[in-house]
Amino acid sequence: MERLVSKEEIRQAVSEARRERKRIAFVPTMGALHEGHLTLVRAARERADFIVVSVFVNPTQFGPGEDFEAYPRVIERDMDLLGAEGVDVLFNPAPEIMYAADARVTVDPGPLGSVLEGATRPGHFVGVCTVVTKLFSIVLPDLAFFGEKDFQQLAIVRMLVRDLDLPVKVVGCPTSREDDGLARSSRNVYLSADERAAAPVLHRAMTAASCLVAAGERNARALADVMRAEIAAQPLAALDYAEVVDAATLEPLETLGTASARALVAVRIGATRLIDNLALEVR
């Protein structure tokens, strides 16, 4: 596996692969890789011939007081994991490579970027959309793979590709979970032992809502209330939001019906903020 740090190098590598008529898949990450990231790499390998993974901790998607400086950076370990998965190229640029000192242009996702995660983290999705647009423009992949764990991000990236006519197909992959239901996340390393034991409350809350749906409940407010009650029962958990939304638009639902529904939760466990989501299927 090659580790490339400049835009010129990655463009040349992808260009050579394309001349060989290879299908290009791209997995953007911020590093500190775990099994969830590796499932994306494996999904990419099943559908493409040339796999590019980026490791770039993007400063523009972190707000004041967030964990940009503390975000785990373990590039040697990441390289070992990616090499073992047969990745062709690692793109690992520095911030000064990705952003000119006088960069001014950003990509705004519109209203969808200001709700849920966007309400708690103003400007976050402008940073996400800007860096994703830049990475797509640099790598020019045929396919790009994102995890459903960051469900709002996935919805916004799909909208970005559609609205800006970017020539890439976005592939969403199911959330990878630990045995107790906790969604795998690079930020899980921040949790103390007691906090780690408390963290599966997110999945329990969503599962409780899913069980109510299976029993016939269709009132979205009732489903959100049961999630909030489950989280409130965990002393180490501080709720940010627990919502039931339309899976396509992320608009709040009143009643579950023909539209696909999604439970979305955000909870702070100690100093660590965790998010998760689950499909609520009406049968």
Q: What is the mean pLDDT of each run of 10 residues along the chain (283 residues)?
A: 98 98 98 97 98 98 93 97 98 97 97 96 97 98 98 98 98 97 96 98 98 96 98 98 95 90 98 97 87
Note the pLDDT of residue 83.
Answer: 98
Encode pLDDT of 133-142 as tens digits.
Answer: 999 999 999 9
* Res 163: pLDDT: 97
User: Of the candidates 144, 264, 278, which has an alpha carbon nearest to the alpha carbon of residue 211?
Assistant: 278
pLDDT for 81-137, tens place per residue?
999 999 999 999 999 999 999 999 999 999 999 999 999 999 999 999 999 999 999
Active site residue 37: yes
Residue ranges and CATH numbers for the domains of the chain are 2-173 (3.40.50.620), 186-278 (3.30.1300.10)
Residue 173 near residue 145 (C-beta atoms within 8 A): yes
Catalytic residue among 34, 37, 124, 203: 37
Cβ atoms < 10 Å from Cβ of 14: 23
pLDDT computed for residue 194 by the predictor: 98
Strands (E), 186-227: none
| The pair of three-digit structure tokens given for residue 69, joined into one six-digit string | 């400086």
Q: Are strands 143-147 and 169-173 parallel, antiparallel or unpaired?
A: parallel
State residue 222 phi and psi, 5-degree precision: -65, -40
Beta strands in the chain (DSSP E): 2-4, 24-29, 50-55, 89-91, 143-147, 169-173, 237-246, 261-269, 272-280
- What was the pLDDT predicted at 152? 98
Residue 34, classified by CB atoms within 10 Å of its CB into exposed (0-12), middle (13-18) or buried (19+), is middle
pLDDT at 283: 81
